């Protein structure tokens, strides 16, 4: 499994916690930034993560900003991306199992480090259920101009 991770300045500290977890889980990852506390624009970090996941260069992406919302909005502009803003374990599980989410967005100002670790671990270890859910994911793909 290969993961690409990015944050803006509002998600920098939580990104460090998540990177530590990825190392513990022995998951190969690449960090595309940011690496400073100066104000930066979240779309500049959401775009490379989303593009590389959509291109198949990485299995999953993780984005962190203050709320996760801005990152999710930006990432979901990329065809083939299903980015879910998650702030609880159940939603992490369902976003993978039912929606086949390929990018996770988390808010540092919403989720503490302990819960973030649980969310990421749950999200990365939950498989897509397929079956009736595949039909629905195909309909989402069709909304992007692809075939259902």
- Phi and psi torsions of 126, nearest 5°: -95, 130
Contact at 8 Å (CB) between 62 and 104?
yes
Burial of 78 per CB tally in 10 Å (0-12, 13-18, 19+): buried
Q: What is the rounded CA–CA span in Å between residue 106 and residue 104?
A: 7
Sheet containing strand 103-107, edge to edge, reads 28-31, 2-7, 60-65, 103-107, 83-85
Among 9, 34, 65, 83, the active-site one is 65
Q: Is 40 helix (H, G, I), strand (E, B) or coil?
A: coil
Look up 98 and say whether it is catalytic.
yes
Look up 9 and say whether it is catalytic.
no
**Residues identified as active-site:** 65, 98
């Amino acid at each position: 499994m290969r993961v690409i991770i990015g944050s803006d300045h509002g998600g920098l500290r939580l990104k460090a916690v998540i990177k530590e977890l990825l190392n513990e889980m022995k998951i190969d990852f690449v960090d595309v930034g940011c690496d400073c506390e100066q104000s930066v624009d979240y779309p500049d970090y959401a775009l490379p993560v989303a593009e590389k996941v959509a291109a198949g260069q990485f299995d999953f992406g993780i984005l962190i900003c203050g709320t996760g919302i801005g990152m999710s909005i930006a990432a979901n502009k990329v065809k083939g991306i299903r980015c879910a803003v998650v702030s609880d374990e159940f939603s992490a599980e369902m976003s993978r199992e039912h929606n086949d989410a390929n990018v996770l967005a988390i808010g540092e100002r919403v989720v503490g480090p302990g819960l973030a670790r649980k969310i990421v671990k749950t999200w990365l270890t939950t498989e897509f259920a397929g079956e009736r859910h595949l039909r629905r994911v195909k309909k989402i793909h069709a909304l992007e101009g692809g075939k259902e």
